[in-house]
Amino acid sequence: MEDAVLDWPVEPDDNRGTALWRAADIAAATGGKLGGGDFAVSGCAFDSREVMEGDLFIALKGENADGHRFVDGAFLKGAAGALVEQAVAHPHVLVADTMAGLEALARAARARLDPAARVIGVTGSAGKTGVKEALFAALDRSSRGRAHRSVKSYNNHVGVPLSLARMPARTRFGVFEMGMNHAGELSALTRLVRPHVAIVTTIAPAHIGHFSGEAAIAEAKAEIFEGLEPGGVAIVPADSPHCALLVAHAQRHAGLVITFGTAEHADVRLVDALPTVTGGTLVTAEFSARTGAARKLCYTVAQPGAHWAANSLAVMAAVAAVGGDLGAAGLALAEMAGLPGRGARHAIAASGGDGSGKALLIDESYNANPASMSATIAALGATPARRRVAVLGAMRELGEGEAAYHAALAEPIAAAGIDRVVLVGAEMAALADALGKNAQGALAAGFDMVHVATAAEAAECLAAAGPQGGDAILVKGSNSVGLGALVKALIARNGESADTNGGHGATREN
């Protein structure tokens, strides 16, 4: 009996090699030529600053830099091989075009998965990174470490193929975030990923400056369904005014369309959401027979906010669709911490106030659009605190409606009972006016408000009046505003370090 307890199940592919890629496999996948000696790699990177021991360095040519200039540095950091367009004095695979080579490697990684493996694609105007991370946590737990996902926000034309190329052959579940800010981009990405399940988290006016309206954004997000494997599952938000549009697009490519949300017709429906003493939500969800898992399920979501309760329904729908363990998914949601730049919470040093010596910092500095701004402001309003402070940076790429979108934040700010608001960026003038103030700042509508031009000025304002003991401080704005530096400075007061920008090089907000 003791031996039986200690036995570890043997998997059919346990005889596969442990290397991520061998040089010959890279050459076969890319049509390249080996040079400088044989090698095997355990990872892939296109940014020489992120190279780790045993990586394949992919020397991409960008608008501002040529990766070939950093090949020597990559090998000094421990790269085992390189994918290059010109021969180098290191082990390498020579190809005509390294970007095309990366895409070929991505296709080869996807093709070598076991037929029983399942791949999930995630997109949406907000929430896609959190849903991706929650899915990974849930599926990694139940598969004993055989889940893979795109890291940080590697979700564009370079980040997605890189994330695929990093996927081990033994992967049982792959989860990939896909973003876009122009029509046609998701169509290409989803055909690389070839998901069995495709999720749209929500539709909101993110990057609306590149589109004619929200319906056009929904059309572009619906491109994710074009890459679905035969019989695949599409998961769409039932509460979205664009639900019917998304469903219609999904039905052209999916074998099954599942909806989630609070609407009566939702296939995964939010029955109840109760706040927990730790700031999260106790969720009761009902699964319809169409999901294949008809039942009611109760679980805890650690992350605060109604948006996280809604996102958890998409997570559960996807776990059910790939035959995952719903119990493990519930545990993962209960334990999931906030992500750097996207909800991470830190206790930072503070003086005065309630005398506790600590304030709560909520780091949402990586991205912002009208939907995510409203959701996080509401979450701040529900956070117990002596004083609630919101440092809000401009929302970018909103087009002609920019002023109206910023001004509309006055309502959620008032509803949340915010005590102090620091507005950052010229675009925030419309909100300052809507709150009853001009750009000079002072007291208005019962709370303290100031409007500044830069993140550096915002840091000065915050330092002048805090942080105070018992404060809850939300920092949120588009990444280009630079509020990540303010977050790093606040965290550094505790001697900590933080990664708030979500990555380098080919990443972007989308």
Token pair, residue 4, equals 């039986």
Domain encompassing residue 35: 21-98
Of the candidates 472, 272, 270, the residue with the CA atom closest to the CA atom of residue 382? 472
Q: Please indicate, yes or no, whether residues 154 and 263 belong to a single structural domain of this protein.
A: yes
Which CATH number belongs to the domain containing residue 45 in this structure? 3.40.1390.10
200 and 147 within one domain? yes
Nearest alpha carbon to residue 224 among 329, 343, 131, 336:
131
pTM of the complete model: 0.84
| 303 and 159 share one domain | yes
Are 240 and 356 in the same domain? Answer: no
- 3: in domain: no
In a domain, 382, yes or no: yes
Rounded to an integer, what distance in angstroms lies between the CA atom of residue 440 and that of residue 494?
A: 32
Across 347-360, b (16+ Cβ under 10 Å) vs e yields ebebeebeeeebbb
Quick: pLDDT tens for 378-394: 999 999 999 999 999 99
Of 335, 365, 387, the domain-final residue: 335
| End-of-domain residue from the set 69, 98, 127 | 98
Backbone φ and ψ for 465, nearest 5 degrees, come out as -130, 35
Say what the pLDDT of residue 293 is: 82
Handedness of CA 497, 468, 304, 423 (dihedral sign): negative
- Please report whether residue 200 resides in a domain: yes
Which CATH number covers residue 369? 3.90.190.20
> Is 94 in the same domain as 71?
yes
Task: Answer whether the bond into residue 237 is a cis peptide, omega within 30°.
Answer: no
Q: Does the residue 1 lie in any domain?
A: no
Q: Are residues 405 and 464 in the same domain?
A: yes
Together in a domain, 70 and 155: no
- Please, what is the end-to-end C-alpha distance for the chain in angstroms? 53
Q: Is residue 149 located within the same domain as residue 298?
A: yes
CATH at 294 = 3.40.1190.10
Residues 331, 205, single domain; the answer is yes
CA distances from 93 to 40, 81, 88 (A): 11, 8, 10
195 and 161 in a common domain: yes
Task: Please name which of 197, 193, 151, 178 lies closest in space to residue 52, comparing C-alpha atoms.
Answer: 151
Q: Are residues 41 and 187 in the same domain?
A: no
pLDDT at 504: 34
* Structural domain contains residue 357: yes
Q: What is 16-50 written as a DSSP string?
A: S-S-SEEHHHHHHHHT-EEESS--EESEEESSGGG
Kindly give the confidence (pLDDT) of every residue in the chain, 510 residues in length, as a single tens digit, with 9 standing for 90 and above: 455 555 555 565 555 557 999 999 999 999 999 999 999 999 999 999 999 999 999 999 988 889 999 999 999 999 999 999 999 999 999 999 999 999 999 999 999 999 999 999 999 988 899 999 999 999 999 998 999 999 877 889 999 999 999 999 999 999 999 998 888 999 999 999 999 999 999 998 767 667 778 899 999 999 999 999 999 999 999 999 999 999 999 999 999 999 999 999 999 999 999 999 888 999 999 999 989 888 999 999 999 888 899 999 999 999 999 999 999 999 999 999 888 888 889 999 999 999 999 999 999 998 888 988 998 999 999 999 999 999 999 998 888 889 999 999 999 999 999 999 999 999 999 999 998 754 344 434 457 889 999 999 999 988 887 799 999 999 999 999 999 999 999 988 765 544 443 333 343 445
Count H helices, E strands: the chain?
17, 23
Residue 182 within any structural domain of the chain: yes
Number of domains in the chain: 3
Looking at 98, 121, 140, which one is the last position of a domain? 98
pLDDT of residue 398: 87
DSSP 153: T
Does residue 197 sit within a domain? yes
Task: Give the neighbor-by-neighbor strand order of the sheet with 233-237.
Answer: 147-149, 173-177, 118-123, 197-200, 233-237, 256-261, 268-275, 281-287, 295-301
Q: Are residues 387 and 311 in the same domain?
A: no
State residue 393 phi and psi, 5-degree precision. -90, 165
Name the phi and psi angles at 233, rounded to 5.
-115, 130
Q: Look at residue 367 and tell me if it is in a domain.
A: yes
Q: Which residues make Cβ contacts (< 8 Å) with residue 377, sequence separation at least 6?
A: 390, 392, 409, 412, 413, 416, 418, 474
